Amino acid sequence: MQLFFKEYGQGRAIILLHGLFGSSDNWHYIAMQLSERFHVFVLDQRNHGQSPHSDEMNYPVMAQDVEELMASRGLQTATLIGHSLGGKTAMQFALQFPSRVEQLIIEDMAPRAYPSVYENYMEILLALDLRQYETRQQMEEALASDIPDLTLRRFLLKNVGRDPEGKFFWKINLRGLADNAARLREPIASSAPFTGPSLFVRGGRSDYVRGEDEALIRRLFPSAKIETIGSAGHWVHSEAPEQFMRVILGFLG
């Protein structure tokens, strides 16, 4: 699995991992800010963006994807920053390859199992016949009744591209995501904790990291600091980018 990635800056290595339905593009502002001090790698996880598609998708194999990327770039260690799905990949990587992680930053995600939320969107998108549409606006309108939130519809439709003939196609592997949805909701578990420096940044308006999650976080990541950015929801780095940067730069030192 040779993941697509973008590379910025010089210095200590930082790897950024996006969430479900996302891509490396989601991190552009944060990557540019970090690149003033660090060597930043922004990855498309398997079945997302410009990375290869696969029928197999779970956190151990996605952690292995990151390890292979590091090996290909000659990186012995790196700091990992992951949001949502990418946060679980980063947690799994730290537990699976602890000696390769300098610092770990998790954005609005806990290591617990999550309820079924996004499977419904996957089925809605799979039912959308892209051949019927000539513009993105037409697709937005077609999805409006099932997905009323316009911002969410536009985010999901960022995963639509055009082929050389101008026809729309899904850049993500929707069927692969749907078939592996249950695996992506599973908890992160390990017989041994990751004892390195860890930071969990949660949004004050999000319920992804609850008070009762803190004990599990500290069991697997005993050195964890937990910070809350009150003005943000689940997408902390895009909803409150300046505050997010202050918190993570303070942690990175």
**Residue 119 confidence (pLDDT):** 86
pLDDT tens-place string over residues 183-214: 999 999 999 999 999 999 999 999 999 999 99
pLDDT tens-place string over residues 119-158: 889 999 999 999 999 999 999 999 999 999 999 999 999 9
Between CA 234 and CA 236 the distance in angstroms is 6
Query: Active-site residue 23, yes or no?
Result: no
**Residue 117 confidence (pLDDT):** 75
Query: Active-site residue 234, yes or no?
Result: yes
Give the type of residue at 8: Y
Catalytic residue, chosen from 39, 48, 83, 234, is 234
**Domains of the chain as residue ranges with CATH:** 5-114+187-252 (3.40.50.1820), 119-179 (no CATH)
CA distances from 77 to 35, 167, 195, 224 (A): 17, 42, 15, 19
Positions in the chain whose pLDDT score sits under 50: none
User: Whole-prediction pTM value?
Assistant: 0.95
Tell me which residue has tokens 């963006």.
49
91: left (phi over 0), alpha (psi -120 to 50) or beta: alpha
Catalytic residue, chosen from 24, 84, 198, 206, is 84
